[in-house]
Amino acid sequence: MRQLLISNRARITPPSPIRKLAHLARKAKKAGTHVYHLNIGQPDIASPQEFFDGIRRFDQPVVAYELSQGNEGLCNAWSGYINRTLGIATKPEQFMITEGASEALVFLFETCCDPGDEVIIFDPTYANYLGFSTIAGVNLVPVLSNMENDFALPGREKIEECITNHTRAILICNPNNPTGTVYTKEELQFLFDICEEHNMFLIVDETYREFVYDDLKPLSIFHVVPDSSRVVVVDSLSKRFSLCGARIGCLVTTNEQVLAAVLKIAQARLAAPTIEQFAAAHMLETIPDSYLEGVRKEFLLRRDILDAALRQVPGVTASKPKGAFYTFVQLPVEDAEAFAYFMLDEFSHEGKTTFIAPAAGFYMQSEQGRQKARLAYVLEKSSIEDAVATLAAGLREFAK
């Protein structure tokens, strides 16, 4: 049979760097090795009881399609929750419920850009942005940020020199995955001003908004720019409420044109999951604010434990993240990906190994990430300590 062709788009879509080594982890586990997953942002914290109560309360005889724009009760509850906890004034009709933040981002690339258009991101970046943009035929244009200054935003000149006639948006994730950087009011205003000047959208991915540490308070772009039609927020219940598998996210904007255009795309995919939306609405209406405060404190503890443990490992430099639940590390190896392979394929210490995410996959200029890795502090305290001890043993062995 002649070979059937697959699309160029499918061929150039990059595999997730986080999942790329997963087959080796499975193999190690089959061989009886315990694998500490510091590679993926899947929190181990229990999902809220209020969500499961919501599932139990679903009493319809048919699991029908939801509205394409999302369950009305969920739009009301999400808007109410944001307004109450952040002190801002969104309206339910500004929400579009999606299958996770992931689908919201695909919708936005498809809505704000034509194929061949460009979106500016900051390198390193959340790796799946590359997959989402490729699906929509959009080119991401990276502006490099540096570990030496905690991945602060590059200066205006550096950003503006990347803007062309095809640039449609700046996309930023705040707090940042993979770096843990939290951008300030001034930095968000700075990005908004650039977008104003060059007539671009500002898309802010606030998936980790509540996970901020030390003296920081959750900051939304809506605090800085409450009602600009060029601002779109992408949000998700995945991390905040340990509901990664529920697949519930949203986009929020005052821009009615964007909402109407996204709705047409959303209608083509019919709807996001019915029961999960129902349960999420119940959860947001009933969950006490203390839930999130407890989760935030737990991640703060884990951050500090990871940071202290990493500082004991010879040759490792770690940035101390201010938000999200990721730490970027510089490793004393030539090639962090080869080291990650080694850890899963060849190494174990007392029957255990540690799975790290090599950073090259988070950089569009992948050479920049060659000696770096991202660690997710999503495990409980003693596992983090043991995972770092295992990592240190692996580094010693790798150096031999």
Ligand X SMILES: Cc1ncc(COP(=O)(O)O)c(C=O)c1O
Residues that bind ligand X (CB under 6 A): 41, 100-102, 126, 173, 177, 205, 207, 236, 238, 244, 249
Q: How far is the CB of 208 from ligand X (least distance, A)?
A: 7
Nearer to ligand X, 173 or 392 (CB): 173
Which DSSP category does 217 fall into?
-
Nearer to ligand X, 233 or 391 (CB): 233
Closer Cβ to ligand X, 209 or 230, answer by number: 209
Q: C-beta of 245: minimal distance to ligand X in Å? A: 9
Assess contact for 373 and 340: CB atoms under 8 A.
Answer: yes
Q: Which is nearer to ligand X, 126 or 192 (CB)?
A: 126
DSSP codes of every residue in 271-307: -S-HHHHHHHHHHHHH--HHHHHHHHHHHHHHHHHHH
Provide the minimum distance between the beta carbon of 205 and ligand X in the complex, in angstroms, as a whole number. 5
Residues with Cβ within 8 Å of residue 389, at least 6 apart in sequence? 309, 349
CB of 286 to ligand X, least distance (A): 21
* Peptide bond before residue 17 is cis, with ω within 30 degrees of 0: no
In whole angstroms, what separates CA 379 from the centre of its chain? 17
Angstrom distances, CA of residue 292 to CA of 89, 241, 279: 20, 8, 17
By C-beta, is 151 or 347 nearer to ligand X? 151
Nearer to ligand X, 102 or 253 (CB): 102
Residue with the closest Cβ to ligand X? 100
Q: How far is the CB of 44 from ligand X (least distance, A)?
A: 15
Could you please report the per-residue DSSP string of 53-111?
Answer: HHHHH---SS-PPPPTT--HHHHHHHHHHHHHHH-----GGGEEEESHHHHHHHHHHHH
Residue 312's CB is within 10 A of a number of other CB atoms, namely 10
Residue with Cβ nearer ligand X (75 or 393): 75
- Beta carbon of residue 276, minimum distance to ligand X (angstroms, whole number): 12
Question: Other CB atoms closer than 10 Å to residue 315's CB: what's the count?
Answer: 12
**280: closest CA among 226, 323, 235, 325?**
235
Q: Which is nearer to ligand X, 292 or 333 (CB)?
A: 292
Q: Which is nearer to ligand X, 204 or 395 (CB)?
A: 204
Q: What is the CA radius of gyration of the chain?
A: 21
Quickly list H helices, 13-48: 22-30
CB of 314 to ligand X, least distance (A): 30
Q: How far is the CB of 13 from ligand X (least distance, A)?
A: 16
Given the complex with ligand X, which of 224 and 248 has the nearer CB atom? 248
Report in angstroms how near the CB of residue 251 gets to ligand X at its nearest: 11
DSSP string computed for 308-355: HHHHTSTT-EE---SBTTEEEEE-SSS-HHHHHHHHHHT--BTTEEEE
Pairing of strands 167-173, 118-123: parallel
Identify whether the C-beta of residue 359 lies closer than 8 Å to the C-beta of residue 369: yes
* Whole-angstrom distance, CA of residue 363 vs CA of residue 228: 30
CB of 101 to ligand X, least distance (A): 4
Torsion, Cα 288 293 299 302, to 10 degrees, reads: -120
Q: How many CB atoms lie under 10 A from the CB of residue 340?
A: 26
